[in-house]
């Protein structure tokens, strides 16, 4: 059984948001994810006898299956409970029951407060598998994908076109930590929150990267090495779908807009994608699309995270 690298334990104890990882832990996790992907058999017993509860308020394909597979392939076992968290009984009681039974909790929730409260009341590690503010596991897989494709990503430009949502928040922070320049183009009402931008800018000031916000998709994409988008209306925003389609009509990633990026630029999307809305079929199905590499790397990045929290 391969020994885990030094300094591999996450000191915070939880992964409720991207910045729960120190810079050293962040880089160690990305390196470990690559090791796990290259030699999965070397890590298959590190969670032997350990159990993880999956609490899912939102339906899921990639998040649920990759976490279940990651836990099982590391030798542990997963227990799924879907539906509202804290509806039948107080959330603090849910957390204090679970920490008597399992070794960790993975939560995919509507609200960040739910994740934070689980971590507050539970004595076992809590992992944010998605909330309204952050999608940190997705961002880890995305950074792994970019490092695989380009090697060093320092000085590269990552452009995000669309809603300043949880995915954009996590990507902005992670890009800044790796010294990547990050540009986001969003309609006026749908930009990243100022507090998130301020956090990212503080990191960028240390790493030497640049953060830019614009309403012009062309400006964001021009010269980018990776172009990223997401659905215009996330789960829970269905009643805004028509309004958002109008607001984001000029923010579709089509061949013309993608052509402003670098010749070797890649297209990224966290999936599920709505072809014909935020991206055209010709772009997402092109050889430069890495969306399924991102989806695959959810498995490996989450294995590394589980190892660093539970092994």
Annotated catalytic, 138?
Answer: yes
Nearest partner of 30 among 311, 302, 292, judged by Cα: 302
Q: Which of 199, 270, 300, 302 is catalytic?
A: 270
% helix, strand, coil for the chain, step of 5: 45, 15, 35
Contact between 182 and 175 (Cβ < 8 Å)? yes
Examine the residue annotation and report whether 298 is marked as an active-site residue of this protein: yes
Contact 190, 164 (CB under 8 A): yes
CB 215 within 8 A of CB 162: no
Known catalytic residue at 108: yes
Residue 130 forms beta bridges with which residues?
Answer: 108
Give the active site residue among 62, 135, 225, 269. Answer: 135
Catalytic residue among 14, 117, 138, 142: 138
Axis-axis angle for helices 194-207, 166-177 (nearest 10): 20
Among 46, 269, 298, 300, the active-site one is 298
Q: Is 135 annotated in the active site?
A: yes
Check 17, 62, 64, 108 and give the catalytic one.
108
**Sheet of strand 226-229, all strands in order from the earlier edge strand to the far edge:** 211-214, 181-185, 157-161, 226-229, 266-269
Catalytic residue among 230, 252, 269, 294: 230
Active site residues: 108, 135, 138, 230, 270, 298
């Amino acid at each position: 059984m391969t020994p885990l690298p030094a300094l591999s334990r996450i000191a915070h104890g939880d992964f409720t948001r991207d910045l729960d990882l120190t810079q050293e832990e962040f880089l160690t996790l990305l390196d470990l994810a690559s090791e796990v992907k290259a030699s999965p058999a070397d890590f298959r017993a590190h969670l032997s006898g350990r159990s993880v509860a999956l609490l899912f308020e939102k339906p899921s394909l990639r998040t649920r299956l990759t976490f279940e597979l990651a836990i099982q392939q590391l030798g542990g076992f997963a227990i799924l409970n879907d539906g509202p968290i804290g509806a039948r009984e107080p959330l603090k009681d849910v957390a204090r029951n679970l920490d008597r039974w399992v070794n960790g909790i993975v939560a995919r929730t509507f609200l960040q407060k739910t994740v934070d409260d689980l971590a507050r009341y539970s004595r076992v590690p809590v992992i944010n598998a998605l909330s309204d503010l952050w999608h940190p596991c997705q961002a880890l897989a995305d950074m792994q994908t970019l490092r695989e494709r380009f090697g060093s990503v320092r000085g590269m430009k990552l452009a995000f076109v669309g809603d300043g949502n949880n995915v954009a928040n996590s990507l902005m922070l992670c890009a800044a930590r790796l010294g990547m320049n990050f540009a986001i183009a969003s309609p006026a009402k749908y930009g990243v929150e100022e507090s998130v931008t301020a956090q990212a800018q503080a990191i960028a000031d240390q790493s030497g990267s640049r953060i830019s916000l614009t309403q012009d998709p062309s400006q964001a994409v021009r010269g980018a090495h990776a172009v990223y988008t997401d659905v215009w209306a996330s789960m829970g925003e269905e009643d805004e779908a028509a309004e958002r389609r109008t607001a984001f009509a000029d923010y579709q990633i089509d061949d013309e807009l993608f052509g402003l990026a670098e010749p070797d630029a890649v297209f990224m999307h966290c999936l599920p994608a709505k072809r014909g809305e935020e991206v055209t079929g010709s772009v997402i199905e092109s050889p430069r699309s890495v969306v399924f590499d991102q989806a695959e790397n959810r498995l490996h990045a989450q294995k590394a995270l589980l190892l660093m929290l539970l092994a």
